Amino acid sequence: MHSALMAAVYQKQLQLSSLGRRGHATSEIVNYIVVDAYRFGEFRWWLHWGWTIPLQICVAIGILFSTVGWAAIPRLFIIILTLILNKPLAKTLQKCQAEFMTTQDVRLRITSEILNSMKIIKLQVWEEKFKELIEKSRVVEFKWLSSAQFYRTYGTILYWKSPIITSSIVFAGCAIIGDPPLTATTIFTVLATFHVIQDLVRMLPEVLAILI
């Protein structure tokens, strides 16, 4: 799919009219091939994650209930809370990514026009003016890129802290209820299941963003 889309974009570029070339700069066409075609090629893999992740989470929850019984209820509450917190994060990251790509296209178009008109720019001594244009577009581009990195940091903190908190809550519940006893078998099973759920919950917002 990736290779077929690259070939299709290339063939379409050869047939573009003058009006079409004005609407699609060379840098944008390169973006179609490098970014968009690659994402479509990877889409089939992510599509299956969209239905296998909920299935795996359900199986992991079943294993938890069979191991620790009702002490798994606090863990389910934390999972639901994590999913609720991940939803706005995924939407915000998607917006930041879309805005970043748009501003990147604008900067690449300006750069392409400058390179194509370098003789005129040098002749008219417009270097500083066009340098300011590029720097302004870079500032906007950096703004959206830094926002995306900031929200990714928030997601990473949520990802690393939630297993520690939930493990402590579940083991405290087992200790208070006294059933089941906290043996090595129970603890290792619960921790392994938590690790599986942790990876699935971490991947879920990324899967949703790619499907969108």
User: 97-125, pLDDT tens digit by residue?
Assistant: 888 888 888 888 888 888 888 888 787 77
Residues 182-188 have a mean pLDDT of 81
- The domains located in the chain, with CATH, are 2-211 (1.20.1560.10)
14 confidence band (pLDDT: 50, 70, 90): confident
Tokens 């994060």 belong to which residue?
Answer: 89
16-46 pLDDT tens trace: 888 777 777 777 788 888 888 888 888 888 8
Residues 61-83 have a mean pLDDT of 76
Predicted pLDDT at 174: 74
166, 73 in Cβ contact below 8 A? Answer: no
Cα 69 to Cα 63: distance, rounded to the nearest angstrom: 9
Predicted pLDDT at 200: 82
99, 126 in Cβ contact below 8 A? Answer: no
End-to-end CA distance of the chain: 19
Predicted pLDDT at 167: 76
123 exposed, middle or buried (CB, 10 Å; 0-12, 13-18, 19+)? Answer: exposed
Cα 19 to Cα 51: distance, rounded to the nearest angstrom: 43
pLDDT at 54 over 80: yes
Predicted pLDDT at 155: 73
Cα 14 to Cα 206: distance, rounded to the nearest angstrom: 35
Cα 101 to Cα 110: distance, rounded to the nearest angstrom: 14
Predicted pLDDT at 39: 80
129-177 pLDDT tens trace: 888 888 888 888 888 888 888 887 877 777 777 777 777 777 777 777 7
Predicted pLDDT at 196: 83
Q: What is the pTM of this model?
A: 0.50
Predicted pLDDT at 139: 87
91 confidence band (pLDDT: 50, 70, 90): confident
